Structure formats: structure tokens, C-alpha cells
């Protein structure tokens, strides 16, 4: 049985869109929350739509935190987090009180605190690529991706692979070794989103050789 | 900077897309799958799918329909029609929807909006308001009971307070009338609330959209009927808007109509014969991702 890309299913978010996007790229992903599937995966995708504290609660409920830590931090399998999936990689989330996140990339998640802008930050915004990431190969700065969020990731510049401007700067994607994550939805960002996913898949293929 | 969105709305009745006129008459247009695919190819920013018979018949929009349509769409889908239970929202989100649109249930149960936004996140919940103008004042209208509910400012503020992420503002008076958007309504709504607003109702052509997008505070314009009747309608609309006033919208399709011009009805003018004959020798390779 060949290894698969596993989309972590913890009842938060639109796994079907990601399945569809990967199918368009010729990849048959597995949606699962089973320990064996995650352990034996080629790479992981961590989706997420909803609230930080609920996401962490669900990860605990499905007993996924330990296996995710092992697979990602110890076995260094590639992982792509999307939207809330990116946010829970932080140390702390401040939605509905303070909740501890996975703590994979140092930072905090706070409500977008930019004066005179409408919240949520929803729609197509252009990104500025930083720190030379494989995720943005052949994707120029000023490309648009779809955002829909009220909270944002505050972290050091060195962890950011791109940022976006909404009267002030917002972290649009982060990266550390085998861990990649986007605040925007590549599975809902038409061709450029598919390109980004293709870049991730190419990286996964390289790593598995 | 965040761009303003051009959104296509598909009004569904009996599983087909229909053209809506004044919330009273409905003319058939075609299969929703084809509409979604075409709109995606033409670079639409988002698609709203509403089943207008659902509430009346005490059922919810079909999640199997949403599942099918989501395979054709690489842009966000906002779906609505008879949503009044949390489990329905969960099922629709699992079926490919990114947001849900709540119209009737907001009029009955304020508690539902609060619960839904708490469980699924504010960004998933769009409250749709049908607005009727009577004696120069704006009121929220119940299209099932066919009666006025309350003043616009009361319910708009309420929706935001309860946890709506966005407002879909439909002008009943302008629906299907091809008279342009109700600009006064848009300005008033933008003033009354600080959450994103999507304006809908009355678009005749790209010029109407250009006018509405000119209100910088407006997050998006939506049109239902307009996009169905011209080839490449979204692409030509965006191209027109960029050419005329370089408005902050996203134009990233392969075809941009940069060298094209438009007539008074904002339809593409034929290119000169010289240009057309040189095009015969151009090779455009399909991009493989």
C-alpha cells in the first residue's frame, strides 16, 4: 500500500474542498483522524475553519496531539496548515480566552487589531513573498489569494514566508523546516492556489526519495 | 490591499438556475453545474448559491447539490436556503460550502445566528437581508410572508451584534429591473455597520457594477441575472472596470481583454481586422499545474 497525503479530520472545516483541489492535481488524498493513517502518511494537511479553542478541544477529543507532534516534530514529515490549521500551530490563541496551541512555530494568535478596517478580513488580497519559500516557487509577489479570518498570527519576521497588507501588515504564511502554513485558502484560490499546492506536493515528493 | 469582490449569485429553483425578477417571476436559465464551471473559468471571485424554495417548503438546500457543485469550483461557495439547524450547517460545510447564508431564520431566531457563529466561526456566517424601499425609507422584508419586518438600521445592527460575519444586502425594488444598484441603500448600510457588505439587485451591465464598486466601503457586488447572458461576462466586466477606473479588483485570468474596447452597452467591440489576422499565428499553450 503506497503512502498517502493525509488530510487530518478533526471536525473543523472543509476537507472536501482540499480533496477536490488535490484531485485536480492528480493526487488521491485520504481524510482521516486514525493514528495509523497519520503515522504512515507521506505528508499531512491540517485544515481548519472555526474557533481556536474548539479546534484544540477537538484535537484532544480525537487524541491527535501526541501523534501529530511525533509525526511532524520527530519524524519530520511535511505538513501544510490552512487558515485555522495555521493558527493552532501557535503557542497561544486568544479567541474566547487564552488557549494553548500546538506551539510549533513561536507566536500568538490575536484578533486583527487594525483601525478602520472591516472584520473579518474577507476576500482576495495580494501577498508579498518573504524569505524565499518553496511554497511560492513561480508565484510572484502581488498574487492574490482568498482570505477569510478575524484573528491573525503574530510572530517573528524570520518565521514568515509571506505577508499581506490590510491597511497594516498581516502574516499570510509561515514556515519552519518541514512545517508550512497559510492563513489564506489555497484550495479556494483558483490557479495560483493550485500552483501553491503543487509546490507543496513537489516538496513532499523530493523529501520522500 | 484587499480587493473588492465580484460575486455571482445562482438562484436555484427545482435544481435549476433561474432568473429572478422582483422576487415574483422566475425564468429558467440552465444547469447549475455549467454555470459554476463557466463562472470559475471567467475568474469570478466567489459564488453564492441560494435555493429559494427551501424555506417555503420547510427543507434545507440539498447538500448533494452542493457536493456536486463544489467539484466545479475553485473559489469560495456561500450556500443558503432554509438553513435553521446547526447540523445542517455542519453537513453543508462538509459538502464543500465555505460559508452559509441565512435569511429567514435570522427573522425568527436571533439565538440561532449567535450559536452558529460561535460553533462555526463568524467568518462562515452570512446574513442575507431583503430590503424594500417604502416612502424613501428602507425596511427589511420577509419574502415568504410577503411583509415588512422592521427598519433596516435596527436589523442591520442586530445582525452584526449577534455574530454575522458578512451581510448580503438584496434590493427587492431593483431585483431584475436592470436599473442599477440602489446606491443610497449601499451607502446607508455601509455607514450603519462595520462588517463586510455585499450589495445585490439591479445590475444591468459592468457600468452598474463599476458605479457600486466606486463606493470604497463596499466589500463586494453580487449579481444573479446579469452574468448568465453574456459570454465571458465576469472577465469582460472586470476588464472594463480596470480599464475605466483601475478599480481595486482582481483580474488574474489568462485572458484579460487588455487591448479590447467596449461599446455603449459595455459589450466587447470587434478588434480590427489587422489585429485579428495577426492573432491567427499566436500560440497560447494551456497551463498545466
Residue of B nearest to A23 (CA): B71
CA distance B205 to B174: 14
Strand order in the sheet with A160-165: A30-32, A5-8, A43-46, A79-82, A179-182, A169-176, A160-165, A121-129, A144-149
Are B74 and A190 within 8 A, CB to CB?
A: yes
B238-262 as b/e: b if 16+ CB within 10 A: bbbbbbeeebebbbbbeeebeebeb
Q: For residue A151, which phi and psi values (nearest 5 degrees)?
A: -115, 150
pLDDT in tens, B250-289: 888 877 777 778 887 778 888 888 888 887 887 877 778 8
Comparing alpha-carbon positions, the chain B residue that sits nearest to A50 is B121
What pLDDT does residue B266 have?
79
What pLDDT score was predicted for residue B40?
92
The reported pLDDT for the residue numbered B5 is 96
> What residues in A contact B46, CB-CB < 8 Å?
123, 146
- Give B199 to chain A, closest Cα distance, Å: 14
Give the Cα separation of B113 and A102 in Å (integer).
30
Contact A16/B67, CB-based, under 8 Å?
Answer: yes
State whether B220 and A144 contact (CB < 8 Å). no
- Please give, rounded to a whole number of angstroms, the shortest distance from the CA of A125 to a CA of chain B: 4
pLDDT at B230 over 80: no
CB contact under 8 A, B195 and A118: yes
* Residues of B with catalytic function: 130
DSSP A72: I
Q: Which residues on B lie below 8 Å from A167 (Cβ)?
A: 1
Joined together, the cell numbers standing for residue B204 give 444591468
For position A136, what pLDDT does the model report? 96
Instruction: Decide if B219 and A193 are in contact by the 8 Å CB cutoff.
Output: no
Q: Which residues are registered as beta bridge partners of B166?
A: B126
Q: What is the ipTM of this complex?
A: 0.93
Give the separation between CA A170 and CA A67, rounded to whole angstroms.
30
**Selected residue of A123, A172, A191 to mutate for chain B interface (largest B Cβ count, 10 A):** A123
CA–CA gap between residue A77 and residue A171 (Å, rounded): 24
DSSP A74: I
Could you identify the residue written with the cell 476537507? A15
Residues of A with CB under 8 A from a CB of B: 13-17, 20-21, 24-25, 49-51, 54, 84, 118-126, 143-144, 146-150, 165-167, 185, 187-195, 198
With CA atoms as reference, the chain B residue closest to A15 would be B94
Active site residues of A: 83, 185, 187
- In this prediction the pTM is 0.93
- Whether residue B98 and residue A194 make contact (CB cut-off 8 A), yes or no, is no
CB contact under 8 A, B123 and A13: no
pLDDT value at residue B157:
95
Average pLDDT, stretch B40-62? 92
- Confirm or reject contact between B250 and chain A (CB < 8 A): yes
Which whole-number Å values give the CA distances from A186 to A106, A163, A181, in the listed order?
23, 15, 10
Q: Which residues of B touch A149 (CB under 8 A)?
A: 123
CB B228 within 8 A of CB B29: yes
Which grid coordinates are listed for A110?
490575536
Give tens-digit pLDDT for B170-202.
999 998 888 999 999 999 999 999 999 999 999
Give the residue on A whose Cα is nearest the Cα of B117.
A50
pLDDT tens for residues A92-119? 999 878 999 999 999 999 999 999 999 9
pLDDT of residue B258: 74
Question: Taking CB atoms and an 8 Å cutoff, what residues of chain B touch A17?
Answer: 70, 96, 98
| CA trace torsion A48, A49, A54, A59 (10° rounding) | -20
> Model confidence at B247, in pLDDT bands (50, 70, 90)?
confident
Instruction: Kindly report, residue by residue over A174-202, the tens digit of the pLDDT.
Output: 999 999 999 999 999 999 999 999 999 99
Q: How many CB pairs under 8 A join A and B?
A: 120
Locate the chain B residue with the closest alpha carbon to A51: B121
If phi > 0 it is left, if psi is from -120 to 50 it is alpha, else beta; for residue A176 that is beta
DSSP notation for B145-182:
TTEEEEEHHHHHHHHHHHT-SEEEEEETTTTTS-S---
Look at A166 and B1 and tell me if their CB atoms are within 8 Å.
yes
Could you give the 3-state DSSP secondary structure of residue A98?
coil
Residues of chain A with pLDDT under 50: none
Of B143, B121, B145, B144, which Cα lies nearest the Cα of B131?
Answer: B143
List C-alpha distances in Å: B137 to B131, B133, B151, B188, B195. Answer: 10, 5, 8, 11, 22
Q: Of the candidates B179, B185, B94, B174, which has an alpha carbon nearest to the alpha carbon of residue B139?
A: B185
B64 — contact with chain A (CB < 8 Å)? no
Closest residue to B165, CB basis, from A120, A146, A165: A120
Residue that the C-alpha cell 461576462 belongs to: B233
Q: How far is A99 from chain B (nearest CA, A)?
A: 16
Residue B56 pLDDT grade (very low, low, confident, very high; cuts 50, 70, 90):
confident
Check residue B9 and report its DSSP letter: E
Pinpoint the alpha helices (H) of chain A. 15-24, 35-39, 52-61, 65-69, 84-87, 190-208
A195: which chain B residues are within 8 Å (Cβ-Cβ)?
289
- CA-nearest residue of chain A to B76? A188
Distance from CA of A4 to the nearest CA of B (A): 20
Alpha carbons B7 and A177: distance in angstroms, whole number: 38
Query: How many Å apart are CA A30 and CA B242, to the nearest integer?
Result: 42
Which residues, in sequence order, are bridge partners of residue B17? Answer: B12, B30
pLDDT in tens, B143-177: 888 999 999 999 999 999 999 999 999 999 998 88
Query: A173: which strand partners?
Result: A162, A182
User: Average pLDDT, stretch B205-228?
Assistant: 91
Looking at the predicted structure, is the pLDDT value of residue B49 above 90? Answer: yes
What confidence score (pLDDT) does residue B70 get? 94
Amino acid at each position: 500500500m503506497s503512502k498517502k497525503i493525509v488530510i487530518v479530520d478533526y471536525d473543523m472545516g472543509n476537507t472536501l474542498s482540499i480533496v477536490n483541489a488535490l484531485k485536480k492535481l492528480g493526487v488521491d488524498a485520504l481524510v482521516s483522524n486514525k493514528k495509523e493513517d497519520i503515522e504512515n502518511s507521506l505528508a499531512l494537511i491540517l485544515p481548519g475553519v472555526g474557533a481556536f479553542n474548539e479546534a484544540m478541544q477537538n484535537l484532544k477529543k480525537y487524541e491527535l496531539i501526541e501523534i501529530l507532534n511525533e509525526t511532524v516534530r520527530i519524524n519530520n514529515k511535511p505538513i501544510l496548515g490552512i487558515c485555522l490549521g495555521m493558527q493552532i500551530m501557535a503557542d497561544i490563541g486568544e479567541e474566547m480566552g487564552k488557549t494553548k496551541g500546538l506551539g510549533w512555530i513561536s507566536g500568538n494568535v490575536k484578533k486583527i487589531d487594525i483601525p478602520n478596517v472591516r472584520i473579518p478580513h474577507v476576500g482576495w488580497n495580494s501577498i508579498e513573498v518573504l524569505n524565499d519559500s518553496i511554497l511560492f516557487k513561480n508565484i510572484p509577489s502581488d498574487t492574490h489569494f482568498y482570505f477569510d479570518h478575524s484573528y491573525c498570527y503574530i510572530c517573528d519576521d524570520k518565521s514568515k514566508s509571506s505577508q499581506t497588507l490590510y491597511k497594516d501588515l498581516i502574516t499570510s504564511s509561515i514556515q519552519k523546516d518541514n512545517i508550512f502554513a497559510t492563513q489564506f485558502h489555497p484550495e479556494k484560490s483558483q490557479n495560483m492556489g493550485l500552483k501553491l499546492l503543487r509546490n507543496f506536493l513537489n516538496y513532499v515528493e523530493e523529501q520522500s526519495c | 490591499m484587499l480587493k473588492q469582490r465580484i460575486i455571482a449569485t445562482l438562484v436555484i429553483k427545482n435544481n435549476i438556475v433561474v432568473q429572478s425578477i422582483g422576487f415574483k417571476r422566475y425564468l429558467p436559465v440552465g444547469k447549475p453545474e455549467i454555470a459554476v464551471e463557466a463562472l470559475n473559468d471567467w475568474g469570478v471571485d466567489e459564488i453564492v448559491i441560494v435555493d429559494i424554495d427551501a424555506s417555503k417548503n420547510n427543507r434545507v438546500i440539498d447538500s448533494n447539490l452542493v457536493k456536486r457543485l463544489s467539484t466545479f469550483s475553485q473559489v469560495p461557495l456561500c450556500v443558503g436556503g432554509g438553513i435553521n439547524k446547526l447540523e445542517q450547517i455542519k453537513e453543508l460545510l462538509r459538502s464543500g460550502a465555505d460559508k452559509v447564508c441565512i435569511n429567514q431564520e435570522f427573522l425568527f431566531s436571533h439565538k440561532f445566528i449567535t450559536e452558529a457563529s460561535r460553533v462555526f466561526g463568524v467568518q462562515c456566517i452570512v446574513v442575507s437581508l431583503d430590503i424594500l424601499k417604502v416612502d424613501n425609507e428602507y425596511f427589511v422584508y420577509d419574502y415568504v410572508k410577503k411583509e415588512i419586518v422592521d427598519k433596516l438600521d435596527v436589523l442591520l445592527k442586530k445582525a452584526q451584534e449577534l455574530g454575522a460575519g458578512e451581510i448580503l444586502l438584496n434590493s427587492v425594488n431593483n431585483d431584475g429591473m436592470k436599473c442599477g444598484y440602489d446606491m443610497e441603500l449601499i451607502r446607508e448600510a455601509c455607514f450603519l455597520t462595520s462588517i463586510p457588505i455585499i450589495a445585490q439587485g439591479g445590475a444591468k451591465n459592468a457600468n452598474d457594477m463599476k458605479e457600486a464598486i466606486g463606493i470604497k466601503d463596499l466589500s463586494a457586488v453580487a449579481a444573479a441575472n446579469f452574468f448568465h447572458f453574456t459570454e465571458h461576462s465576469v472577465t469582460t466586466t472586470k476588464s472594463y472596470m480596470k480599464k475605466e477606473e483601475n478599480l481595486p479588483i482582481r483580474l488574474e485570468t489568462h485572458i484579460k481583454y487588455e487591448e479590447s474596447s467596449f461599446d455603449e452597452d459595455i459589450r466587447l467591440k470587434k478588434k480590427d481586422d489587422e489585429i485579428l489576422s495577426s492573432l491567427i499565428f499566436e500560440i497560447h499553450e494551456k497551463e498545466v499545474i
